[in-house]
């Protein structure tokens, strides 16, 4: 599957930078391209300058809202981010149109943080603009949810997240949710944490995107998972996970007839990888709530056998009893068995529900504070009305 990826705001730009790095890896190691264009959109010029892989052209690093923000961001006010994106949406779409291989792409993927200002406000606006322009291509949103400390220290965070999620869900074909708190490493530096989290967010997409673009016959799976399968799976709230089980590179020659322990170990590697993928889903959710699911198993060709595929299929059916399940194999990896799982069309997401509930109760409180502030300012103004001004 080939994507055009667009990052909105600082977080979104860095995630798309990782997608560009992923494309470089696919090109150098596998001789294929999976990203047809990478773009970063921001109201802050410094954030755009901090990217490393996305081309430095103004067509790829797009500064919007220059007149309103002076190139210094919107200060976490996502209404301003949305307003600026509406005014400059044509500028963004025009830049995306310059991608030489745009029409080879199967879909668009837009990334942003839900808690910020520019990304949170702009992602739904740009999603809508792309859907209106390219009606035949699905548009997916990748939304990063805030850390716990951001929710507790900044009241505005919950409001931004709720408005962003509601807006994106109403226009995007599917919304990938990534909970920052599930990826955090407590003892690591802030810079390392953010860099590692961005890498972990993007990694599950690697084999998923490469499988359908494979050109060498020996690496094409018995059951190919292509763009059509992915598009049919992705609907509504979506979580993705990735697991890996190491495979020894050097082994003793097999005895005639094979060994039952070796056979059991091979199957167990696939189960362990799926266990990890399900436990490391990008968002805490109940897999039984998904109505569409998918898994891709990748590994050395001799490790991928019918028994493993059957066991993985039974496992997925047990955890997603009501889902339409699609699956595939990809004989590519050398030293590991990798499993990527997607849970889509989730009927209930507790985290999202909590944001909506919290924001609903917060809105009247914020309005009351604004009214109280206006009242106090009016009292001060009335107290000073008889005092002459030096400017008159």
Do residues 341 and 356 make contact, with C-beta atoms less than 8 angstroms apart?
no
Exposed/middle/buried for residue 154 (C-beta within 10 Å: 0-12, 13-18, 19+): middle
- Name the fold adopted by 235-346: 60s Ribosomal Protein L30; Chain: A; (3.30.1330)
- Higher pLDDT, residue 115 or 362: 115
Percent of the chain predicted with pLDDT > 70:
92
Do residues 37 and 4 make contact, with C-beta atoms less than 8 angstroms apart?
yes
Confidence of residue 332 (pLDDT cuts 50, 70, 90): confident
Do residues 17 and 113 make contact, with C-beta atoms less than 8 angstroms apart?
no
Interval 35-42 mean pLDDT: 95
**Average pLDDT taken over every residue of the chain:** 87
| Number of C-beta neighbours around residue 71 at 10 A | 16
CA proximity to 39, closest of 19, 22, 69: 19
169 has a pLDDT exceeding 80: yes
Write down the pLDDT at residue 128.
96
Confidence of residue 168 (pLDDT cuts 50, 70, 90): very high
CATH of domain 3-202: 3.40.50.1440
Write down the pLDDT at residue 369.
65
Confidence of residue 320 (pLDDT cuts 50, 70, 90): very high
Interval 214-224 mean pLDDT: 87
Of 121-135, 142-156, 206-220, where does mean pLDDT reach its minimum? 142-156
Interval 154-176 mean pLDDT: 92
| Gap between the Cα atoms of 56 and 53, Å rounded | 8
Write down the pLDDT at residue 207.
93
Write down the pLDDT at residue 32.
93
Same fold, 3-202 and 235-346: no
State the virtual CA torsion across 196, 200, 206, 209 in degrees, nearest 10: -130
Write down the pLDDT at residue 262.
56
Of 15-24, 52-61, 85-94, 302-311, where does mean pLDDT reach its minimum? 302-311
| Gap between the Cα atoms of 164 and 118, Å rounded | 11
Interval 334-339 mean pLDDT: 88
Write down the pLDDT at residue 249.
67
Q: Give the single-character DSSP code of 62.
A: E
CA atoms within 13 A on the CB side of 216: 10
Delimit the domains of the chain by residue range.
3-202, 235-346
Confidence of residue 256 (pLDDT cuts 50, 70, 90): very low
Written as six digits, the tokens of 116 are 């910020």
pLDDT, one tens digit per residue, over 286-317 is 999 999 999 999 988 888 888 888 899 999 99
| Gap between the Cα atoms of 24 and 17, Å rounded | 11
Write down the pLDDT at residue 321.
94
Write down the pLDDT at residue 217.
87
363 has a pLDDT exceeding 60: yes
pLDDT, one tens digit per residue, over 91-133 is 999 999 988 899 999 999 999 999 988 999 999 999 999 999 9
Interval 82-87 mean pLDDT: 92
The string of DSSP codes covering 142-158 is EEEEPPHHHHHH-HHHH
68 has a pLDDT exceeding 80: no
The string of DSSP codes covering 113-131 is ESSSSHHHHHHHHHHHHHH
Interval 364-375 mean pLDDT: 70
Confidence of residue 264 (pLDDT cuts 50, 70, 90): low
| Gap between the Cα atoms of 336 and 269, Å rounded | 9
Q: What angle do CA 80, 65, 364 make, to 5 degrees?
A: 0
């Amino acid at each position: 599957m080939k994507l055009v990826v667009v990052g909105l705001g600082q977080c979104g730009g860095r995630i798309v930078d990782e997608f560009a790095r992923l494309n470089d890896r696919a090109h150098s190691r596998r001789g294929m391209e999976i990203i047809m264009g990478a773009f970063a959109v921001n109201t802050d010029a410094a954030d755009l300058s901090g990217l490393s892989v996305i081309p430095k052209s103004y067509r790829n690093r797009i500064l919007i809202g220059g007149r309103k923000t002076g190139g210094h961001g919107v200060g976490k006010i996502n209404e301003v981010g949305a307003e600026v994106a509406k005014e400059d949406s044509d500028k963004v779409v025009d830049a995306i149109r310059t991608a030489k291989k745009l029409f080879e792409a199967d879909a668009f993927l837009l990334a942003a943080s839900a808690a910020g200002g520019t990304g949170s406000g702009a992602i739904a606006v740009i999603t809508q603009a792309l859907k209106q322009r390219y009606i035949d291509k699905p548009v997916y949103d990748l939304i990063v949810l805030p850390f716990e400390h951001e929710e507790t220290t900044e009241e505005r965070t919950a409001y931004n997240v709720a408005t962003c999620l509601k807006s994106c869900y109403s226009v995007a074909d599917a919304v990938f949710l990534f909970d920052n708190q599930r990826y955090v490493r407590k003892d690591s530096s802030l810079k390392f944490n953010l860099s590692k989290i961005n890498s972990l967010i993007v990694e599950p997409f690697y084999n998923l995107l490469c499988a359908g673009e494979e050109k060498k016959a020996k690496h094409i799976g018995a059951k190919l998972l292509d763009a059509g399968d992915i598009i049919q799976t992705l609907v509504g709230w979506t979580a993705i996970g990735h697991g890996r089980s190491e495979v020894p590179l050097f082994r003793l020659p097999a005895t005639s007839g094979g060994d039952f322990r070796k056979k059991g170990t091979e199957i167990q590697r696939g189960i362990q990888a799926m266990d990890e993928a399900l436990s490391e889903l990008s968002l805490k959710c109940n897999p039984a709530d998904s109505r569409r699911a998918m898994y891709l198993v990748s590994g050395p060709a001799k490790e991928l056998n019918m028994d493993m595929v059957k066991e993985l299929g039974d496992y997925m059916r047990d955890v997603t009893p009501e889902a339409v399940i699609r699956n595939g194999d990809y004989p590519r990896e050398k030293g590991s068995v990798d499993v990527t799982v997607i849970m889509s069309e989730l009927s209930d997401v507790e985290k999202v529900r909590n944001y909506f509930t919290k924001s609903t109760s917060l809105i009247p409180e914020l309005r009351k504070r604004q009214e109280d502030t206006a009242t106090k300012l009016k009292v001060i103004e009335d107290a000073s009305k008889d005092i002459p001004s030096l400017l008159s």
